[in-house]
């Protein structure tokens, strides 16, 4: 099963290495990883997507809790969390087809961030299905390059107390 793991850690050198090392040493692949500071500059949030059965996932979280630099672990998998990812698409765009590509970008509320002689670079954010839909449409024009960030996730407001 795919798990969305949100880990609040101290914002110090080596912490990310310890967290990812613990997961990978147990033979699990991290499918997506995103790290950044939180509203508290002394803390960072690690968002990792891992595939593991329930027993293995429980083992991972128990081991993470033992790390001194880990303050909180949240499993966002079954919470209906808000998930987003950023993608940059560099698409072949001869002048006579640019209008079509720009229209696709507009439909998905994406932005044109660079224009070259024979390509357009498009920035898009969204969930996995939206970005996959865009990718499928852009493939008809020829994708020169794709760059993706790791997925980020946050619990919905309905969880607030």
How much is the pTM? Answer: 0.79
Establish if 158 belongs to a structural domain. no
Range of the domain at 130: 80-153
Number of domains in the chain: 2
Residue where the block lists tokens 């590509």: 101
107-151: per-residue pLDDT in tens?
A: 999 999 999 999 999 999 999 899 999 999 999 999 999 999 989
pLDDT at 106 over 70: yes
Query: What pLDDT does residue 161 have?
Result: 45
Choose the final residue of a domain: 52, 77, 102: 77
Work out the pLDDT band at 158, boundaries 50, 70, 90. low
Three-state SS at 85: strand
Q: What is the mean pLDDT of residues 40-61?
A: 90
A 10 A CB-CB count for 66 gives 8
Choose the final residue of a domain: 35, 56, 77: 77
Cα distances from 31 to residues 4, 18, 37, 108, 121, in angstroms, run 10, 17, 21, 25, 25
Enclosing H/E stretch for 137: helix 128-139
Length of the chain equals: 161
Choose the final residue of a domain: 77, 100, 128: 77
Establish if 159 belongs to a structural domain. no
């Amino acid at each position: 099963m795919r798990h969305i793991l949100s880990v609040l850690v101290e914002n110090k050198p080596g912490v990310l290495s310890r967290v990812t090392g613990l997961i990978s040493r147990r033979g699990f692949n991290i499918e997506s990883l995103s790290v950044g500071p939180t509203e508290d500059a002394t803390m960072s949030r690690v968002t990792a997507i891992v595939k593991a059965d329930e027993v293995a996932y429980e083992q991972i979280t128990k081991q993470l809790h033992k790390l001194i630099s880990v303050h909180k672990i949240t499993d966002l998998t079954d919470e209906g969390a808000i998930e987003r990812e950023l993608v940059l698409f560099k698409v072949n765009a001869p002048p006579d087809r640019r209008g079509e590509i720009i229209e696709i970008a507009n439909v998905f509320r994406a932005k044109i961030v660079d224009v070259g002689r024979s390509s357009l670079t498009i920035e898009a954010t969204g969930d996995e299905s939206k970005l996959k839909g865009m990718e499928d449409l852009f493939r008809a024009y020829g994708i020169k390059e794709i760059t993706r960030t790791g997925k980020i996730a946050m619990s919905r407001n309905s969880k607030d107390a």
